[in-house]
Every structure is written in C-alpha cells, then in structure tokens.
Structure 1
Amino acid sequence: MAEFLFGDDLSNRIREVARRPDARCAVAFWGIGAAYEVFGGEFDQRDDVKIICDISMGGTNPLTLRQLGAPENNYLKYKDKLHAKTYLSEEGLVVGSANASSNGIGRSGRPAGLVEAGSFFPVGSPEWQEANRWFCSLWDEEGCLKVDQQALERAEDLWSRRARLPVEFQAEAPAGTVLDYDPDRDGLILLSWYTGNGGQVHNIEVADNGRSFLRISDDHNNGIMGKWICCFQTLKDGTRMAMNRNPYFFFSSDFENEFFAGQGEDPHIVYQRIDAPMPPPPFDFDDPDFRLAFRDVISRDDFSLLRDEDHNDPWLLIDHIDLMEKFWRAVQDAYRNATQA
C-alpha cells in the first residue's frame, strides 16, 4: 500500500529503504555525512549499493563522494542534470523531494533543514517495478559515468562555487553541542599541538590558497584527508594549553613540498583551501562551555601523550587514534557535568 510521507517519517523511511539489501539510489545531491545518515555505519562493508548522483549543478559535496568510495567505487556514478530523488531496495521505493543531505533528511538526530515530502511504495508493486526498470536503464546510459578522479576534480570546482547557487544547495543544518558529536558518524576530530606562533609554509600554492596547514610525514598521511583537526597551543612545560579563536580546520588538499624535503624535514603538507569551504562542523566549536571542557580534559595526565610534553613530533597524528577517541568521550562527560549540574 502506498504511503504519503513528510518530516521525520519521510527521513526514517528513506533510511529503512537504503539500509536494506540491493540498495539503488538515483539522488541528485549528497551532503556531508550522507553516507552514514543514509546507509548507516556499515556502508564501507557493503557491496550491494549503487548510486547515481549529479555533479554538474555543484550540489554534491566532493568529500562525501570520497566517503562513498570515489574514485575507486565502480558502483558510484553521476549523470549530469539528474534531479531525481529516488531510493530503491528490497524494502521498497521512496520517491520525493529529499536529497541525501542535512537539508533533505536531517543529520545527527536533528530534523531536515527544508520541508520535504514523498511517497513510499512496497517492494513488488507496479511503481517499484517501474522504478527498478528506470534505474537499470539510467545506469546503463552512455552519459551515466563512474565518479573517477577527473569527475572528482570537476565536482570540487563546482562545489566551491556553490555560494552562488540556490538555497537548496547552501547552508546545512545548524551545529549542535559536543554532546551531539559521534566520531563513528561524523569522523574523528584529530588533535595536534604547536608551540610559539607556528611555522611558515614555503610554497606559493599554500601561500595563495591555504587557510591553515599542517606538515606531516609521508608515513602518517594515510586516512587523514577529509577530516577535521584541532591544533591547540601548548607551552614548553606542557602544562598549559591555549586555543586560538579558530583552532579548527579541515584537511581538503595536500602536496609534496620540496623546500622542506631539502631541509631534511617532513615534506608532506596538508591544508584547507580557501576556495574549498569547510563542511558544516559536527558541533559548535565556539561554545564557551565546550572550550572550557576541552582545556580541562587536554590538561589531564591521562592525555599527556596528546600534548607530547617532550615536544617531539606533533605531526604523528595516527599514533594516538584510540586515545583521541577516549579524549572526546571525556570532553563530552566534562561538558555534560558542567552544563547539567
């Protein structure tokens, strides 16, 4: 029996359909965190998901394309001018107005940012069968292409211009508090320290395009692109922390720097491009109660390795992933105790 859906009922039904076997999504625009919100936490373990999106209108986040497996995923395609929002699986069919974004279906337990509506049809219904035939035909069309490296670069260019696009593609849902943060869903926020005023980047690319940067060894570069990082300042004795007004930035580009290599230092630089705006933060980084909780927890003995009091290598981010996960749980506990006392 067909159902007319809106609000949370629509969002939840989309998730139910997409998380069932043989999921096929012809959905125009995919926002940050969509892989988790739509498919759940096990998307990277599935091999039964086919996706067709649009990149020609600048409404699909290229970082999300990477989270969906681009450029290696052969089951991730794009079709220019696609504007459909069709979710299909062995659970049924949802057709409506909702993109795979915080505006379309919500994020982090919050409702969708826009008013959406759609219809559900059970598996095997005439509507489901027709949608299945349509998807298979679209998938095989000559202009339906794999999201390869060239397509990713095109998506990045068009996404960077999205401020000039209609509101449908713009601001995502507002951030909540640190209690809303889920590292499994939102991605682990990395931690790194620096002393003094930080270093200088001797490369015209970063000088022209970089907002913030971090120098890192090649051995520790895997798995950090498309992640947030908090760079906090520590004094020489390692006992006091300072946080600038904007200590957070997002890894969106990288390159090999010959200057640093010539100095015998780690030549790999990751940075945030000025022309590639940051995605919405997973929570409000400027919340004063959060900042107090952060300073409290990072100063504890349990997390001294994150401060590296001997001042060895702040760039070795992946050495302490488990400790960073414990750190964020401790920050949430400290925040909860301070705000709910």
Structure 2
Amino acid sequence: MEFLSGRELSEKIKDVMKGANPCMSVAFLSSGWFKLIFEDNIPPELKIICDVEMGCTPRDALKTAGAPDNPNLKYIPDKEMHGKVYISDRGVIVCSANATLAALRFDTRIEDGVWAAEGTPLHQDVQRKFSERFDMAEKVSREILKKTPKKVFGPEYEKAPKDGLPLLQSVLRSPSAFNGVYFVFTGDEIDDEVIENGDAQYEEESDETRVEKKNRDYHYDFGKKVTEENWPKVFIAIHRFKNGRVRFNKLRFLFTARQLANGKSKSLFISEILPASASGSAFGGIPELAQENICRKELREKFRRKDVFSNFAGEILSANQFAEELRKL
C-alpha cells in the first residue's frame, strides 16, 4: 500500500484507469473530466457510479459519459455519493479526489489517497463493494439528466460573481451549497390572536434567551405530519402576499406553541429572523447572495402570478427539491 498526494495521486489515477476493467465511483464529474484522466477517448467498458443528488455534476459532464444511453453510467437513488475510488487490474485508489479540474490539476487544492496493488485485500474489498453498489444503482436516464443543472458555480467549476447570485439562480446553479437549509413557502396570513397566544407561550416556557418580538417570524398549521422534530432548524421562508409582493427571510427555529382550534391541536412554529446577509457558518454554510433588493425582485418576477406560487404554497422543500420544481416552470 502506498500513500499518494498532489501530482503523484493525479498521475496514479490516470495510470490505474488505463488498466483493464476500469471502474470509478466518485461524487462529482466536471466538464471535460475525461480529458483529465483518459486524455483522448473514454474506454467503452468503463463503469461509473456518480452523484446526482447534490447538484454538483453538470449535465454536459454526464452527456460526455454517455448519458442517457450508457448502461454503465449509474447513480444510487435517494443517496448522496461522496466517496471516491478508482479501480482496474492495475490496482485500486481510495482518495479524496473527484473527477474534476479542481481535484486533478493539484495546484489549487490538496488531495490525498492510498493505492493498493491488484489482488491485495484492499483491492478485493473495494472491488466487491463497487460491484454490490453497481448492481443496485440505476442508469442515468433521460429523466434524471433533465433534473441535473446545466451549469454549476463553485470551486470545482467556475467562480460565482463577487457580489453573489440572486437566491433562485444560486439554488439552480448549486443546490448542494444549501445542504441542510430548507425552503418554506406560505401564502396565507396568520390571525393576530394566534400569534399573540404563541408569543405568550414562548415568553413563559422557552428556556432560551428571548428573541425580541420584532425579530420573530411565524408559521402555522402545516398539518399533523409536520412536528417540531421534523420542522427545519434553519430555513429560508418565502411568503407571497395577496397583492403579489414577495418577502423572504432567513430563519432559525426557536419554539413550537401548541394551540387548539375547533377542538384540534395545531402548531405555531416561532423562528428568529436572521440578518439578510447571513451566510457561511452563520447560516447553514450557504453562499453569500446578491443584495436583498435584487433577491426580492427576482422572487417577485418569478412568483408574480398566484397560480405559479400555488405550486409551492404550504410546501417544505430541500434545495434539491426546490431546484427541481424551479426547472419545471
């Protein structure tokens, strides 16, 4: 077994993939990925498992790999593939490097890994695990291809504008950048009495340091299936008023107030309104967005029509789900 880093790792990946029965399981492919590894043509026998859930593999990279007609280009449904392995009869590499320019050109990022020769226990174990996953994986179909982003912004591909992208563009270009941050959509107003009762419970029962009323936001009656356990902890709330105006807030969940309405128990979720500039570690790791007024204008133009917003109202979506729905509009 041999430890490899930087240029040595990149060159070893190329060498291993020149062997017979090449296989690779990676998170992301970037545009022109095959030139980084094979220089000319992709071996027809190459088997690939890659990620399509996190939104960081652009559509042209999958097309280059033969999608949607290549039965050897697969993904694992409802799973985020983050491991990186390269296998052939020249051995196996387990490493941190994706099949992307940023990872394999080794001058802007540190990538490490280990190589083991054919027939070693590591080679056999990885080969067996790859075969198991390949058998359970599904071909990247035409439907899956349509759901992938046409372009991806990020260190793997291109730099985003210095002043940030508007919210919807940012979600479409790189939904994985919003990993862990959800989107909550509302169109109905909450009665003042409901809010007052909820505030009273929060003031009396919350163990946390109280957030001022002016910095609170409220979401009410999302049904029995939505509980405090599965309500998002950090999220972006998008609300469309009846006059077509659209408001969005970055929120951190605070407290659930229980209320009775017509004999039924309903939940009022109280959250803290965070600064519009909140990003990075201060808010789920999301990228810095364009100025708030630019984001509001983009949302207003997209959701000007009530029938368009009705497709989202009352929904709680992950960034991947939101991006998928936006592509349908």
Give the structure-1-normalised TM-score. Answer: 0.44
- TM-score normalized by the length of structure 2: 0.46
Larger radius of gyration: 2
Q: Hey, which of these two has a bigger chunk of helix by percent?
A: 1
